[in-house]
């Protein structure tokens, strides 16, 4: 590693630790938008995952496949779709959400919901059916039985949440198109990294990249600890 690289990393760390307002404003936009999108999507997605895993109804196969397909749609295509919906001529044009955080939240909801539904469906499908039956036969209400099953599946469900959050926190395409990368309003970590790199301001891009890296390490270590604590099950 040459001196130029070291100097860049030093600058990046200095930006982070000196609480540079521009850097932390970008981090704040990123987290507030992604947390809001995840919070709104979480419960309905888990319920849909549960219904798709346990329910038997016509069209279940179709919905499952549709959600699997939505997972692999590039975020830029979702960005385009949301842009077309929010543009003045679009069906949601009256909301005036284009180039606002609300628009970004809508886009990120569409990106994170299929991941949450598909991964939670897989988790619920893998659950031992006796967990549900035991809870119900002991007299638990439907809601408590669902909660019990979720607790039994806390590791795979947390993995689904982490995967969905990672996907929206790091996506560029949709945020760039719908948010417009406006400083202090819609500029989040990935769009800022793209912008600063194109400008040649690598220090800020590295500082923001480090935030994502640290977050990723924290989340994965937490999950690893939880997974390690879970005892293997026997009959």
Binding interface with other proteins (CB under 8 A):
128, 130-131, 133-134, 136-142, 148, 151-152, 230-235
Cβ distance 107 to 174 under 8 Å? yes
Phi, psi values for residue 136, rounded to 5°: -70, -40
**Residue 134 Cβ vs other proteins, minimum distance, rounded to whole Å:** 4
Q: In this structure, what DSSP letter does residue 233 have?
A: P
Which CB, 133 or 184, lies closer to other proteins?
Answer: 133
**Cβ of residue 129: shortest distance to other proteins, in angstroms?**
9
Give me the least distance between CB of 99 and other proteins, in Å please. Answer: 44
Nearer residue to other proteins within complex by CB, 131 or 162: 131
> In the bound complex, what is the minimum distance in angstroms from residue 136's beta carbon to other proteins?
5
Question: Residues 207, 15: contact at Cβ < 8 Å?
Answer: yes
| Residue 9 beta carbon to other proteins: minimum distance, rounded to whole angstroms | 43
Please identify, using beta-carbon distances, which residue of 7 and 138 lies nearer to other proteins: 138
The smaller minimum CB distance to other proteins, of residues 200 and 232, is found at 232
Q: 59's torsion region: left (phi>0), alpha (psi -120 to 50) or beta?
A: left
Phi first, then psi: give them for residue 99, nearest 5 degrees.
60, 35
> Residues of 85-105 as b/e, b for ≥16 C-beta within 10 angstroms?
bbeeeeeeeeeebbbbbbbbb
Which whole-number Å values give the CA distances from 103 to 58, 99, 160, 229, in the listed order?
34, 7, 24, 40
Q: CB of residue 33 vs other proteins: minimum separation in angstroms?
A: 34
- Smallest gap from Cβ 64 to other proteins, in A, equals 22
Comparison of 91 and 224: residue with beta carbon closer to other proteins = 224
Integer Cα distance of 12 and 91 in angstroms: 43
The token duo for 131 is: 């967990």
**56, 59, 43, 111: which is closest to 81 by C-alpha?**
111
Hey, CA dihedral for 179, 65, 148, 151, is it positive or negative?
negative
The residue (of 120 and 181) whose beta carbon lies closer to other proteins is 120
Q: Under a CB-based contact definition with an 8 Å cutoff, are residues 205 and 197 in contact?
A: yes
Cβ proximity to other proteins, 94 vs 231, nearer residue:
231
């Amino acid at each position: 590693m040459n001196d130029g690289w070291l100097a860049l990393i030093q600058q990046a760390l200095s930006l982070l630790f000196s609480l540079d307002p521009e850097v932390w404003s970008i981090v704040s936009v990123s987290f507030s938008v992604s947390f809001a999108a995840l919070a709104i999507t979480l419960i309905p997605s888990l319920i849909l995952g549960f219904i798709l895993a346990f329910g038997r109804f016509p069209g279940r196969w179709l919905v499952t496949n549709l959600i699997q397909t939505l997972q692999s749609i590039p975020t830029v295509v979702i960005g385009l779709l949301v842009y077309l919906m929010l543009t003045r001529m679009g069906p949601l044009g009256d909301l005036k959400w284009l180039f606002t955080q609300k628009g970004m939240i809508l886009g990120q909801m569409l990106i994170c919901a299929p991941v949450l539904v598909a991964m939670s469906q897989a988790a619920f499908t893998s659950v031992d059916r006796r967990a549900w039956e035991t809870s119900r036969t002991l007299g638990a209400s439907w809601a408590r039985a669902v909660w019990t099953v979720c607790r039994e599946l806390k590791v795979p469900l947390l993995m689904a949440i982490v995967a969905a959050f990672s996907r929206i926190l790091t996506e560029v395409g949709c945020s760039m198109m719908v948010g417009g990368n406006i400083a202090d309003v819609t500029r989040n970590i990935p769009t800022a990294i793209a912008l600063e790199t194109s400008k040649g301001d690598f220090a800020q891009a590295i500082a923001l990249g480090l935030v994502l890296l640290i977050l990723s390490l924290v989340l994965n270590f937490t999950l690893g600890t939880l997974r390690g604590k879970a005892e293997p099950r026997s009959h």
